[in-house]
């Protein structure tokens, strides 16, 4: 199952949202803290200013009335609050800051709780307590408009960042798809050069590599096809002349050699072919049964081929490609393995599988890596039996061209097994049925 965070866009989106969320939260917390500190400093300044103003008013104009919320209280009055005890830490810091701004020996007390907040101040030279109003230091606050502004800015920033991440991800996605097609041996059109400079350089280098590889592959295919095609005519003449020989033993030997050479030439032509298979998609289980039945009828010693077909009707592949895969694997198992040969299909949680294995001696572990390399025969003594060393290489190329994966190895001590895995959507269900075979069968 694909996880969104595994993609480049998912990781960029997660990174962007996390960074913006942390930065906005930190900014909001600092702003709230700074505003509370500013409020406390302003309250201290205001209280100090009011107390000093009252002192000057009493000294200069004792007969003039004071403002309504400012008053002078006799020290013997029962309204004078007691010493500050059990004051919250925030209010204690406020009282200490006010006392630091006053002359030495000044008493600073807070008014009775439950009433409008007041500050009581009396220095050694004051005859009365000076009572002035103060602002509430830490009033309860609900979410204010700042939070909504932060949400709006955060949402806009996330959308802009996600759009930028999407713009960066698109060229990389196109390049990744092109690389996947190139790895499967499919034609790769030039990838548009978009995005940052480094990404454009990477795309340009990939396009140049694809062009050079395609040119090399085309030259190689033309050379192989030309050589194979040119050999067909003399082979046909050799066979005709062999049929005219009088001695049966010599004639049969020459005919077998010509047939082996013709088979090798056909393998060259198939390996050099680089076109897409346009044959009709067929159900793999049904086609495997048909191919095995035909193989038993025409191949000597082939009745030992068995089937275990459990993939179901959803597993479909192009007919020509499937025939070529099965014929090469059956020929290889019949030539080098031991009966019974088994053709097996299955449906797994990840997709479909097609496997062909025999019950021979298998391949040595150190030779498995070379088993599917072109023109490699692990047993040189078998060079004259019509095998060119292309069978497994052709199968691997066909499987990867369909987007599948293959694994070759010895199967539980029962000989060589070739296991091919395909996704559920290896062929879209709406694939048009074109009966023309790209292999010219």
* Tens of pLDDT, residues 260-284: 677 666 666 665 565 566 678 999 9
DSSP 358-405: -SS----GGGGGGTTSTT--S-GGGTTSS--S-HHHHHHHHHHHTT-E
Does 179 map to a domain? no
Does 398 map to a domain? yes
| Total domain count, the chain | 2
β 281-283/405-410 pair status: unpaired
The tokens for 32 are 């709230």
Distance CA 25, CA 38 (A): 20
As a dihedral over the C-alpha atoms of residue 151, residue 155, residue 157, residue 161, rounded to 10 degrees, the angle is: 150
C-beta neighbour count of 403 within 10 angstroms? 16
User: Which CATH number characterizes residue 288's domain?
Assistant: 3.30.565.10
Distance CA 99, CA 113 (A): 20
- Can you give the pLDDT at residue 386? 44
153, 145 contact by CB (below 8 A): no
- Can you give the pLDDT at residue 435? 34
DSSP 241-298: HHHT-S-HHHHHHHHHHHHHHHHHHHHHHHHH--PPP-SPEEEHHHHHHHHHHHHHHH
Domain final residue, candidates 71, 101, 133? 133
Domain final residue, candidates 133, 154, 173? 133
- Can you give the pLDDT at residue 301? 55
- Can you give the pLDDT at residue 436? 35
- Can you give the pLDDT at residue 170? 83
Domain final residue, candidates 82, 106, 133? 133
- Can you give the pLDDT at residue 431? 42
Does 147 map to a domain? no
For residue 2, give the DSSP letter. Answer: -
Low-confidence stretches of the chain (pLDDT < 50) are: 1, 139-140, 142, 375, 380-388, 429-441
Does 396 map to a domain? yes
User: Which CATH number characterizes residue 72's domain?
Assistant: 3.30.450
What domain range is 50 assigned to?
A: 4-133
- Can you give the pLDDT at residue 430? 41
Distance CA 155, CA 152 (A): 5
Does 116 map to a domain? yes
Does 204 map to a domain? no
Query: Model-level pTM greater than 0.75?
Result: no
Does 21 map to a domain? yes
Within 8 A by CB and 6+ apart from 64, the residues are: 57
Does 306 map to a domain? yes
């Amino acid at each position: 199952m694909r996880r969104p965070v595994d993609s480049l866009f998912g990781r960029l989106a997660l990174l962007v949202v996390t960074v913006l969320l942390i930065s906005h939260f930190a900014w909001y917390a600092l702003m709230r803290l700074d505003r509370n500190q500013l409020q406390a400093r302003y309250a201290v300044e205001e209280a100090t200013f009011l107390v000093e103003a009252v002192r000057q008013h009493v000294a200069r104009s004792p007969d003039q009335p004071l403002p309504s919320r400012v008053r002078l209280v006799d020290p013997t009055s029962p309204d004078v609050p007691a010493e500050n005890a059990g004051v919250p830490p925030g209010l204690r810091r406020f009282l200490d800051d006010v006392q630091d701004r006053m002359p030495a020996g000044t008493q600073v007390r807070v008014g009775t709780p439950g009433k409008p907040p007041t500050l009581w101040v009396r220095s050694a030279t004051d005859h009365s307590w000076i009572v002035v109003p103060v602002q509430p230091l830490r009033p309860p606050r609900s979410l204010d408009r700042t939070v909504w502004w932060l949400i709006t800015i955060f949402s806009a920033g996330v959308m802009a960042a996600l759009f930028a991440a999407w713009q960066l991800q698109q060229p990389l996605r196109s390049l990744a798809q092109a690389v996947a097609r190139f790895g499967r041996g499919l034609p790769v059109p030039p990838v548009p050069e978009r995005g940052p400079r480094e990404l454009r350089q990477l795309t340009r280098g990939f396009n140049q590599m694809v062009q050079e590889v395609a040119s090399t592959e085309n030259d190689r295919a033309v050379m192989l096809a030309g050589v194979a095609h040119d050999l067909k005519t003399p082979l046909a003449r050799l066979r005709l002349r062999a049929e005219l020989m009088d001695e049966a033993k010599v004639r049969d030997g020459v005919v077998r050699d010509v047939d082996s050479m013709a088979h090798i030439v056909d393998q060259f032509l198939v390996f050099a072919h680089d076109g897409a298979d346009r044959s009709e998609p067929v159900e793999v289980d049904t086609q495997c049964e048909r191919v095995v039945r035909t193989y038993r009828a025409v191949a000597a010693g082939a009745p030992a081929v068995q089937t275990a077909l459990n993939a179901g009707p959803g597993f479909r592949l192009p007919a020509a490609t499937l025939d070529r895969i099965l014929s090469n694997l059956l020929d290889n198992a019949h030539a080098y393995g031991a009966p019974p040969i088994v053709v097996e299909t299955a449906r797994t949680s990840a997709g479909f599988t097609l496997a062909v294995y025999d019950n021979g001696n298998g391949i040595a572990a150190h030779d498995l890596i070379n088993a599917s390399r072109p023109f490699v025969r692990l047993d040189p003594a078998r060079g004259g039996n019509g095998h060119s060393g292309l069978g497994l290489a052709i199968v691997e190329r066909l499987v990867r061209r369909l987007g599948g994966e293959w694994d070759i190895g010895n199967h539980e001590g029962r000989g060589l097994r070739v296991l091919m895995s395909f996704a559920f959507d290896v062929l879209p269900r709406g694939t048009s049925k074109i009966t023309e075979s790209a292999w010219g069968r």
